[in-house]
Amino acid sequence: MLVCDPPPSLAVDEITALTATFTWGSVPNAVGYRIEYGKAGFTPGFGFVKNTTDTTFTLTGLKQDTQYDLYLRTECDGEVSDPLGPVTFQTLVLCTAVDPGTLATLALTDSSAVLDWAVPLDARSFQLEYGPQGFPLGFGRQIENFEPLDTLFDLNACVSYDVWVKNICGQDSISAPAGPLTFTTPFDPGPLGDTCFYTLTLESVSANGWNGAELQLDIDGQIQSFTMAVGAFTQDFEVGIPENAFVKVVYVSGFFNLDNSFRITDPAGNLIFSSGPPPEEGQVFDFVACTTCNPPLDAFLYDINATNAEVRWVPYPQSSGNYLLEFGPLGFRRGTGSTLTVPQGSTKAQLQGLQENTWYDLYIARSCSADTSKFFGPLSFKTIRLNDLGVFAITTPVEGEKCEYENEVVTVTLANYGQNPQTLFNYFYAVNKVKAAIPVPSDGLFTNVLGNDSLFSIEFETTYNFSTPGYYIIEAWTEFEDDTNPHNDSARYDFV
């Protein structure tokens, strides 16, 4: 009989003012782990308890500048190990956060921004994190010792950025992030030329007008507004715009948008953008007027793997020239990334040489005979992992269906979240924290091939007696040595 041993190791990975993350060595016959913590010196049995099937865990809701003790136990088939610990740790001091209302840009160019904010009294230095608008905090580009009135360099033209600022008030003491400060770098397509004419078509399904909504064209900083009056289903506006003017299209919401839609047609009669009903809100599109060298109208990532990704795009009508693609780590400066040239006529490409579990930005332009178009992008995306397995769901038994037999079948759906096909891995289940006696390899060993981004439903040959009325917790999980993401290995199903 296997002994229920405590984990062989326990380490502190990261401590903040309000959280602490731990990892530990796995125990082969464990069905879970029990974490108990409290202020330093607390008596075991009277602390806060957390349970997990992973070998890493983040405690949240801690108090700043406080010392804690933590104990860890292994949960096996119907028994619990002796505790490992205590591990004593102290949370950091939570510095005063920067007032987000004071974050500002004092100057902008197509590649830089001068930033400013009010300095908290306890500040010693600041940490800056930035990236394309909407980037996931923690994955952006970080700059240490960035001060108010410093200049942020290495930006790209015509890109909206988010900036977050943390106050560092002492060694290992940092504030919550303040932000985001959002700004857009300018873009200069060149000197203005002759006027050409675009057609805006505004539509209302009910002919009740646009109910206070507006379509705005920001033409090099000059705003023109358009709306619909009551009584018409469609209304056209012809708008003269100088060649090389940079135009931003903005939809301003009204009090009833479900009937509204619009489309934009270029001087050659090509439909270049449409939205609704109802339209997207805010800035929804931009373009350089009257030019014959145009980037794609739209682009999207079609298939993202660990080391490669496929991108597809919608070409600008009646345009010619090869496509220029550039990609690199999130927030990279154009001109420093990996490049790819795609012949005209193609509308997709494979990005190769990517790193697993990494965020990237992608830009696309068109190379014409005389010049290069404005870049479309960035498209931000994250690669998946090479090896990432788990139990997606437990599908039988089903709550509400009577268990007529003592030998009920447990069925699970296995998932391959990673790039590599997988085979010869173990999968198990436990009921009410007691691991089922699964005789590997005759049961619990997957011998088929689970392909990339696929699911597979499979029954355990080892059944369970659910005939006794009561509350049941079924947990199922995979075990695979090369799996680099333990957070999605397991699934749980509760039923009566």
- How many angstroms separate the CA atoms of 475 and 464, rounded? 13
CATH of 10-90, picked from 2.60.40.10, 3.40.190.10, 3.40.50.1100, 3.40.50.300, is: 2.60.40.10
Q: Give the pLDDT of residue 405.
A: 56
104-108 and 84-90 beta bridge pairing:
unpaired
- How many angstroms separate the CA atoms of 66 and 62, rounded? 8
Q: Is the pTM of this model over 0.85?
A: no
SS3 label, residue 487: helix
Report the 10 Å Cβ neighbour count for 422. 23
Report the 10 Å Cβ neighbour count for 84. 20
Report the 10 Å Cβ neighbour count for 331. 24
Residue 460: which of 419, 431, 429 has the closest Cα? 429
Per-residue pLDDT of the chain (496 residues), as tens digits, is 467 899 999 999 889 888 999 999 988 888 889 999 999 999 998 999 999 988 999 999 999 889 999 999 999 877 899 999 999 999 988 899 999 999 999 999 999 999 999 999 999 999 999 999 999 999 999 999 999 999 999 999 999 999 999 999 887 788 989 999 999 999 989 899 999 999 999 999 998 899 999 999 999 999 999 999 888 899 999 999 999 999 999 999 998 899 999 999 999 999 999 999 999 999 999 999 999 899 999 999 999 999 999 999 999 998 889 999 999 999 999 999 999 999 999 999 999 999 999 999 999 999 998 789 999 999 999 999 999 999 999 998 887 665 555 788 999 999 999 999 999 999 999 998 888 999 999 999 999 999 998 999 999 999 998 888 888 889 999 999 899 988 899 898 888 7
Whether domain 389-495 has CATH 2.60.40.10: the reply is yes
How does 339-364 read in b/e, with b if 16+ C-beta sit within 10 Å? ebebeeeeeebebeebebeebbbbbb
Q: Give the pLDDT of residue 173.
A: 83
Task: Write the CA distances from 77 to 84, 402, 430, 478, integer angstroms.
Answer: 18, 26, 9, 17
- The set of residues, in sequence order, having a beta carbon less than 8 Å from that of 441 and lying 6+ positions away, is none
CA 491 to chain centre: 22
Residue 293, exposed/middle/buried by CB under 10 A (0-12, 13-18, 19+)? buried
Report domain extents, the chain. Answer: 10-90, 100-184, 195-284, 298-380, 389-495
Of the chain, the end-to-end C-alpha distance in Å amounts to 31
Topology of the domain comprising 195-284: Jelly Rolls (2.60.120)
Q: Give the pLDDT of residue 231.
A: 87
- How many angstroms separate the CA atoms of 374 and 379, rounded? 14
Is 389-495 in the same CATH topology as 195-284? Answer: no
Q: Give the pLDDT of residue 444.
A: 96
- How many angstroms separate the CA atoms of 67 and 69, rounded? 7
Q: Give the pLDDT of residue 157.
A: 95
Give the DSSP H/E element, type plus range, for residue 318.
Answer: none
Q: Give the pLDDT of residue 313.
A: 97
Whether domain 298-380 has CATH 2.60.40.10: the reply is yes
- How many angstroms separate the CA atoms of 161 and 153, rounded? 12
Q: Where are the alpha helices (DSSP H) in 325-447?
A: none
For 100-184, which CATH class?
A: mainly beta
| Phi-psi group of 86: left, alpha or beta (phi > 0 → left; psi -120 to 50 → alpha; rest → beta) | beta
